[in-house]
Amino acid sequence: MPQPLASLRWPACLLLLTFAAVPLHAAEPLASWNDTAAKAAIIKFVETVTDEDSAGYVPPEDRIATFDNDGTLWTEHPMYTQLAFALDRVRTLAPQHPEWKTQQPFKAVLENDLKTLAASGKKGLLELIVATHTGITTEQFEAIVTDWFKTARHPRFKRPYTECTYLPMVELLEYLRANGFKTFIVSGGGIEFMRPMTMEVYGIPPEQVVGTTIETKFEMQDGKPVLMRLPEIDFIDDKAGKPVGINKFIGKRPIAAFGNSAGDRQMLQWTAAGTGPSLKMLVFHDDAEREYAYGPANGLPNSPFGTFPQDLMVEAKQSDWVVISMKNDWKTIFAPEKD
Amino acid sequence: MPQPLASLRWPACLLLLTFAAVPLHAAEPLASWNDTAAKAAIIKFVETVTDEDSAGYVPPEDRIATFDNDGTLWTEHPMYTQLAFALDRVRTLAPQHPEWKTQQPFKAVLENDLKTLAASGKKGLLELIVATHTGITTEQFEAIVTDWFKTARHPRFKRPYTECTYLPMVELLEYLRANGFKTFIVSGGGIEFMRPMTMEVYGIPPEQVVGTTIETKFEMQDGKPVLMRLPEIDFIDDKAGKPVGINKFIGKRPIAAFGNSAGDRQMLQWTAAGTGPSLKMLVFHDDAEREYAYGPANGLPNSPFGTFPQDLMVEAKQSDWVVISMKNDWKTIFAPEKD
Q: What is the mean pLDDT of each run of 10 residues along chain B (339 residues)?
A: 40 42 59 98 98 97 98 97 97 97 96 91 89 97 98 98 98 98 97 98 98 97 97 95 98 98 98 97 98 98 94 97 98 90
* Chain A stretch 263-302, residues whose beta carbon is closer than 8 A to a beta carbon of chain B: 266, 269-270, 273
Q: A111 and A174: one domain?
A: no
Distance from CA of A309 to the nearest CA of B (A): 20
Contact criterion met (CB < 8 Å) for A225 and B179: no
Domain carrying residue B272: 30-77+159-329
Query: What pLDDT, on the 0 to 100 scale, is given for residue A2?
Result: 45
Spell out where A172-297 has E strands.
182-190, 209-221, 224-235, 256-259, 279-284
The C-alpha atoms of residue B261 and residue B282 are separated, in whole angstroms, by 7
Q: How many CA atoms lie within 13 A of B285 on its CB side?
A: 30
Chain A contact set for B180 (CB, 8 A):
8
Partner-chain residue, chosen from A24, A47, A209, that has the shortest CB–CB distance to B2 = A47
DSSP for residue B299 = G
Closest residue of chain A to B215, computed from CA coordinates = A244
Residue A236 near chain B (CB below 8 Å): no
Q: How far out from the chain centre does Cα B272 lie? A: 20
Looking at B95, B126, B151, the residue that finishes a domain is B151
Whether residue A141 sits in one domain with residue A71: no
Q: Do A2 and B249 touch (CB under 8 A)?
A: no
Residue pair A233/A209 in contact by the 8 Å Cβ criterion: no
**Domain assignment of residue A17, yes or no:** no
pLDDT value, residue A104: 94
Between the CA of residue A147 and those of A69, A75, A81, A151, what are the distances in Å?
Answer: 20, 20, 14, 7
The residue with greater pLDDT, A323 or A122, is A323
Residues whose CB falls within 8 Å of the CB of residue A189, separated by 6 or more in sequence, listed in order: A69, A70, A80, A81, A82, A211, A212
Check CB contact of A3 with chain B, cutoff 8 Å.
yes
How would you classify the pairing of strands A209-221 and A224-235?
antiparallel
Q: Is B26 on the interface with A (CB under 8 A)?
A: no
Amino acid at A159: R
Supply the DSSP symbol for B308.
B
Range A223-239 burial, b when 16+ CB lie within 10 A, else e: eebbbbbeeeeebebbb
Residues forming a β-bridge with A221 = A224
Is position A157 within any domain? no
Residue B150 carries which side chain, given as an amino acid letter? K
DSSP-derived secondary structure letter, A304: S
> How far apart are the C-alpha atoms of B310 and B297, rounded to whole Å?
4
Residues B108 and B53 both lie in one domain: no
Q: Edge-to-edge, what's the strand order for the sheet holding B209-221?
A: B224-235, B209-221, B182-190, B64-67, B256-259, B279-284, B322-325
* C-alpha distances out from residue B325 to A9, B96, B168, B287, Å: 33, 46, 12, 8
* B215/B289 same-domain check: yes
Length of chain B measured in residues: 339
Of A201, A169, A168, which is closest to residue A331 (Cα–Cα)? A168
DSSP SS3 for B231? strand
* Residue in chain A lying closest to B194 (CA): A251
Strand partners, A279: A256
Residues of chain A contacting residue B182, judged by C-beta atoms under 8 Å apart: 207
Whether B61 and B131 share a structural domain: no
pLDDT for residue B182: 98
For the cut 60, the answer to whether the pLDDT of residue A336 exceeds it is: yes
| Residue in chain B lying closest to A199 (CA) | B61
Assess whether A174 and A293 both reside in one domain: yes
* B176 and B288 share one domain: yes
Cβ neighbours of B102 (radius 10 Å): 8
Contacts of A255 in chain B (CB under 8 A): none
| A125 band by pLDDT with thresholds 50, 70 and 90 | confident
Handedness of CA B306, B307, B310, B311 (dihedral sign): negative
* CA B65 to chain centroid: 12
Give the minimum alpha-carbon distance from B46 to chain A in angstroms, rounded to a whole number: 7
**CB-CB: which of B13, B138, B269 is closest to A17?**
B13
Residue B291's Cβ-count burial label (10 Å; 0-12, 13-18, 19+) is buried
| Model pLDDT, residue A304 | 86
Please answer whether residues A34 and A41 qualify as being in contact, where contact means their C-beta atoms are separated by less than 8 angstroms.
no
pLDDT of residue A21: 41
Same domain, A193 and A242: yes
Among B96, B130, B151, the domain-final residue is B151
Last residue of a domain, one of A151, A177, A202: A151
A265, A139: one domain? no
- Residues from chain A contacting residue B27 (CB–CB below 8 Å): 4-6
Share above pLDDT 90 across residues of chain A, in percent, rounded to a whole number:
87
How many other CB atoms are found less than 10 A from the CB of residue B217?
Answer: 14
SS (H, E, C) B114-177: HHHHHHCHHHHHHHHHHHHHCCCEHHHHHHHHHHHHHHCCCCCCCCCHHHCEEHHHHHHHHHHH
Question: Which pLDDT score, from 0 to 100, does residue A339 have?
Answer: 66
Of B320, B321, B297, the closest CA to residue B310 belongs to: B297
Q: How far is B107 from chain A (nearest CA, A)?
A: 33
pLDDT digits (tens, 9 = 90+) for A9-56: 444 434 444 444 444 444 689 999 999 999 999 999 999 999 999 999
Does residue B174 sit within a domain? yes
Sign of CA dihedral B195, B200, B202, B203: positive
Q: Is B228 exposed, middle or buried (0-12, 13-18, 19+ CB in 10 A)?
A: middle
State whether residue B5 sits within 8 Å of chain A by CB: yes
- What is residue A45's predicted lDDT score, i.e. its pLDDT? 98
| Mutation target vs B (from A14, A183, A247, A315; most B CBs, 10 A cutoff) | A247
Contact A251 B8 (CB under 8 A): no
Is the residue at A45 inside a domain? yes
Please give the Cα distance from A283 to A74 (Å, whole number).
Answer: 11
Q: pLDDT tens across A184-211, in order?
A: 999 999 999 999 999 999 999 999 999 9
Hey, are the CB atoms on A195 and B46 less than 8 Å from each other? Answer: no
**Dist CA B224 CA B237 (whole Å):** 31
Q: What is the CATH number of the domain that holds B298?
A: 3.40.50.1000
B94 and B207 in a single domain? The answer is no
Question: What's residue B126's pLDDT?
Answer: 87
Given this model, what pLDDT does residue B122 score? 82
Helices (H), chain A: 5-19, 37-50, 81-93, 106-110, 114-119, 121-133, 138-151, 167-178, 191-202, 241-245, 265-272, 310-319, 326-329
Contact at CB, A270 and B224, closer than 8 angstroms:
no
Tell me what pLDDT residue B304 has: 86
C-alpha to C-alpha distance for A117 and A120, rounded to whole angstroms: 5
pLDDT at B18: 42
User: Quick check: is A12 in a domain?
Assistant: no
As for how many domains chain B has, the answer is: 2
The dihedral sign for the CA sequence A202, A206, A208, A210: positive
CB A89 within 8 A of CB A279: no
Q: A9 and chain B: CB distance < 8 Å anywhere?
A: yes
A235 contacts A242 by C-beta, under 8 angstroms: no
Q: Estimate the crossing angle of helix B37-50 against helix B167-178, to 10 degrees.
A: 20
Alpha-carbon distance of A260 to A297, in angstroms, equals 12
Inter-chain CB pairs, A–B, below 8 Å: 157
Judged by CB atoms closer than 8 Å, whether chains meet at B252 and A206 is answered as: yes
Buried b (16+ CB within 10 A) or exposed e, A315-338: ebeeeebbbbbbbebbeebbeeee
- Which chain A residues are Cβ-neighbours of B13 within 8 angstroms? 13, 16-17
Same domain, yes or no: B220 and B262: yes
Say whether A29 and B192 touch across the interface (CB within 8 A): no
Res B339: pLDDT: 66
**A247 touching chain B per CB within 8 A:** yes
- Whether residue B16 and residue A13 make contact (CB cut-off 8 A), yes or no, is yes
Any CB–CB contact under 8 A between A26 and chain B? no
Alpha helices in A32-164 (DSSP H): 37-50, 81-93, 106-110, 114-119, 121-133, 138-151
Distance from CA of A172 to the nearest CA of B (A): 13
Helix/strand/coil for B57? coil
Task: Give me the residues of A, 296-335, that contact B with CB < 8 A.
Answer: none
Average pLDDT, rounded, for chain A: 92
User: Do B131 and B168 belong together in one domain?
Assistant: no
C-alpha–C-alpha distance, residues A29 and A175, integer Å: 6
Cβ distance of B206 and A251 shorter than 8 Å? yes
| Predicted confidence (pLDDT) per residue in A154-174, tens digit | 999 999 999 999 999 999 999
The one-letter code for the residue type at A195 is R
In a domain, A43, yes or no: yes
Show residues of chain B in contact with A184, CB under 8 Å.
207
Q: Are strands A64-67 and A182-190 parallel, antiparallel or unpaired?
A: parallel
Is there a domain that residue A3 lies in? no
Contact flag A208-B206 (C-beta cutoff 8 Å): no
Instruction: Find, in chain A, the residue whose alpha carbon is nearest to that of B227.
Output: A244
Query: Does A339 fall in a domain?
Result: no
Would an 8 Å CB–CB cutoff place B136 in contact with chain A? no
Residues with Cβ < 8 Å from B71, sequence gap 6 or more?
Answer: B77, B260, B261, B283, B285, B305, B306
Nearest in space to A249 (alpha carbons), one of A306, A206, A199, A194: A206
